[in-house]
Structure 1
Amino acid sequence: MTIAVLGATGMVGSRVADEASARGHRVLALSRKPGSENPGSPKNPNVTPVAVDANDPHALHEALAGGAADAVVLTVRTVPVDEEFLVGTTRTVLDIAARLGIRVLVVGGAGALRSPGDRDLLVADNPAYVPAGIKAVAAAGIAQLRTCRSHADADHVYLSPPALLEPGERTGRYRRGTDTLLVDADGRSRISAEDLAVAVVDELETPGPDHHITVAHHGGHPSA
C-alpha cells in the first residue's frame, strides 16, 4: 500500500510514517519543508519526503495522484490553532480523495468525543478534560469533524485521540472505541504517539465500519 502522510514532520505524522514504513508500506511524507530530520533516512527506505504546501490544492492533487497513493493520513496542526486553515485543508484533501478514490484518515481532536458517563456533554465543553485555555483547539477539531461528515462521497474516517497524546513507548496495544472518550480505571485518558500510529496503520490495513473512532492506551501509563 502507498500511504501519503500530510504533516509528516509533526509528532503524529512522523510516527505514522515510521510505523507504516516498518510494516513494508510505501510512504509519501508530505510536508511544507521536508528536511534531513524527516522520515526517509536509510532506516526508512520506503519513505519518500515530498515538499507540498497544504494551502495549495493543485500541489496536493499532484502529490497524491502522481504518487499513486492508496490512502492519505491528515495530521496537520498549527500553533496557535488556525481553525480556518484546518477546516480548509481537510476539505481540500477530502475533495481530492473523493475524485481519486483514495481513503482518508483524519487524525483530529478529542473535543469532538462525548464525555464518559454523559453522552450529551461533548469533551470540548467538559472542563475536566478541556480547560478554557485550549477550548479553541477543541472547537477546531469539532469543525474539522463536521467537514468530514459533510463529505459523504469521500471514503474517510476521523480518529479522535484521547485527552492526552504525547511521545512515549510503542507497546502495540490499545483500546478502540467510537464516539466516546476512553478512560482507564482512575479516569485518565491517554496514549503515546507511537501507539496512536499503530492504530492509524491498523485502521488503514483493516478498515472498520465506523466513520468516527477513538483509541486509548491499553493498561497503565504509556511509558510505564
Structure 2
Amino acid sequence: MNIALIGASGFIGSAILNEALSRHHQVTALVSRPEKITASTQLKVLATDVQNLAQLSAQLQGFDAVITAFSGHANGDVLAYYVSGIKNIIQAAKEAKAKRLLVVGGAGSLEVAPGLQVIDTPDFPEAYRASAEGARQALNLLREETNVDWTMLSPSAWIAPGQRTNQFRLGKDQLLIAADGKSHISVEDYAVAMINELEQPAHTRQRFTVGY
C-alpha cells in the first residue's frame, strides 16, 4: 500500500515506520524534522507542519491510508498543541478524501471499571495527563465523525522498546491486564497490531487496544 505516516520519526511512529517498510509498503514520512529520517526507494520524506491545514491537506492527497503518530510533546502546551494538530489532521484527511485514517491513541481513555477511565483514577501520573487528555479528546472527535473511515489503536498502560513477538491480545475499550498483573506492550508489537489493522481492517470507526 501507499501510506502517509505523520510523526514517523517519533517513539511510536518510528516503530510503525519500520514495521510498514518490513512488509514492503511504500511510505511517505511527514515529519517536522526531515533530517532525522533517511529516504530510500521505498521511503519518501516530507517536511510538514500539522498546524498548517492547507499544506497538510495537499500533502495527504492520493494515499491508500493515512497513519498518524503525531504527539504534542515537542510543544510547551502539550494539550492545546496536540488537540489543534489532531483537529487539522482529521480535517486534512477529509479534504484529501483519505480512504482510511489510523490514529495512535492513548491508554488513558481505556476503562479499568465500567465508566471509569484510566486517566480518571486517583493514581494517574500528572506527567502524562496532558497527552492522555489530548488522546481522549481525539477519540471523542473521531467518534463524532461521519465522513472519515477512522480507527484508533490505544496501547496498554506501559509501552516501551522490547521484542517483536507477534503474540498479543486485542481488546476494545477496556484496559488489558497480562497474567503477570501488568498492562504492557512493546512498541514493536504495537506497530505489528497497527499494520495488521491497515492490511486487514477489523475495527472500522472503532477504537481498539493491544496488550499482553
Same fold (TM over 0.5): yes
Query: Could you tell me which amino acid in structure 2 is paired with residue 204 of structure 1?
Result: L
1: distance between equivalents of 2:170 and 2:33?
33
SS of equivalent to 2:166: coil
Distance in 2 separating the partners of 1:30 and 1:103: 16
Pair 1:179-2:173 in alignment: yes
The answer for the alignment partner of 2:79 in structure 1 is: 83
- Per the TM alignment, residue 39 of structure 1 is displaced from its structure 2 partner at its CA by 5.0
CA shift for structure 1 position 33: 1.1
Mapped partners of 1:39, 1:127: distance in 2: 43
Q: Partners in 2 of 1:168 and 1:81 — Cα distance?
A: 30
Runs of 4+ in structure 1 displaced over 4 angstroms?
Answer: none
Quick one: distance in 1 between partners of 2:78 and 2:21? 30
| Preserved CA contact (<8 Å) 2:72 2:131 | no
The code of the aligned residue for 1:40 comes to A
Q: Where does residue 22 of structure 1 map in the other structure? A: 22
For residues 28 and 135 of structure 1, do their structure 2 counterparts lie closer, same or farther at Cα, with a shift above 3 Å needed?
same
Partner of 2:192: 198
- 2:154 counterpart residue number: 160
Per-residue deviation at 1:209?
3.5
Write out aligned runs for 1:1-224 (5 A): 1-35=1-35, 37-38=36-37, 40=39, 45-65=41-61, 68-79=62-73, 80=76, 82-99=78-95, 100-115=97-112, 118-128=113-123, 130-210=124-204, 211-217=206-212
Could you tell me how far apart the structure 2 residues matched to 1:101 and 1:32 are? 21
Q: 1:190 to 1:146 in 2, by over 3 A?
A: same
Q: CA RMSD in A?
A: 1.6
TM-score of the superposition, structure 1-length normalised? 0.87
Q: Runs of 5+ in structure 2 lacking a partner?
A: none
Structure 1 residue 81: Cα displacement: 5.6
Unpaired segments ≥5 residues, structure 1: 218-224
Aligned residues: 208
User: TM-score, normalised to structure 2's length?
Assistant: 0.91
Matched-pair identity in %: 36
